[in-house]
Amino acid sequence: MPTGRRSRTPVTPGGGATSRSRTTGLATCRFEQGNLPAALTSYQTPLAIVNQLAQSDPGNAGWQRDLSLSHNKISDVQRVQGNLPAALTSYQTSHDIFERLAQSDPGNAGWRRDLSVSHNKIGDVQVEQGNLPAALTSYQTGLPIGDRLAQSDPGNGGWQRDLSVSQERVGDVQRAQGNLPAALTTYQTALAIADPAGAIGAR
């Protein structure tokens, strides 16, 4: 069985990366086909290898990020399956790694974006669980990170969009909580980021 042969292969940086790439591609195909149990198994299969690599060299940022992304992919499947407690745990595990990476290299914009996105993913699960106060906290915690990225490079459309979407998430929770004045202000801020000309016309 292919999976069994991989598990007996000595873990090396090159060999491990090749095996993970194949397994991740297979898992992604299964996920896109809607075969969630098989996708989850495929994502979980290389986790032990990635974890072993990350533990063998805690200073290797690439392996740490690989581990975080592995947990993130597992979380995505668990969330679609409706297993929200497991998804939240996996997202938080991923988040903790992203946070350490961002703290170890504050000037790395990629690490900071990963951290901002992880706050949003945790918030998304908390919204689905009905825990709006926790979701609002998660979204608002990630918001300053996205704001600093957007301000550092106003010409980066992706970062501007990230910030606008984060603002919208905050507005959605505020609206669901019945805090309409705050929601309106937040939505206007999101609009000003996404479409400055449209925001002026909407005043």
How far apart CA 116 and CA 140 sit, in angstroms, is 10
How high is the pLDDT of residue 10?
Answer: 32
CATH of domain 1-105: 1.25.40.10
DSSP 183-196: HHHHHHHHHHHH-H
Low-confidence ranges of the chain (pLDDT < 50): 1-16, 200, 203
Question: What ranges make up the beta strands (E) of the chain?
Answer: none
Residue 20 is predicted with a pLDDT of: 57
pLDDT at 19: 52
For the chain, the structural domain boundaries read 1-105, 133-196
With beta carbons less than 8 A apart as the criterion, state whether 142 and 91 touch.
no
Residue with the two structure tokens 């072993």: 52
What is each CA distance from 90 to 69, 110, 155, in whole angstroms? 10, 21, 33
**CB 139, CB 126: distance < 8 Å:** no
What per-residue confidence (pLDDT) applies to 196?
67
User: For the whole model, what pTM was predicted?
Assistant: 0.83
The pLDDT, as a whole number, for residue 26 is: 83
Report pLDDT for 21: 60
- Give the dihedral sign, CA 60/98/72/109: negative
Q: How far is CA 54 from the centre of its chain?
A: 19
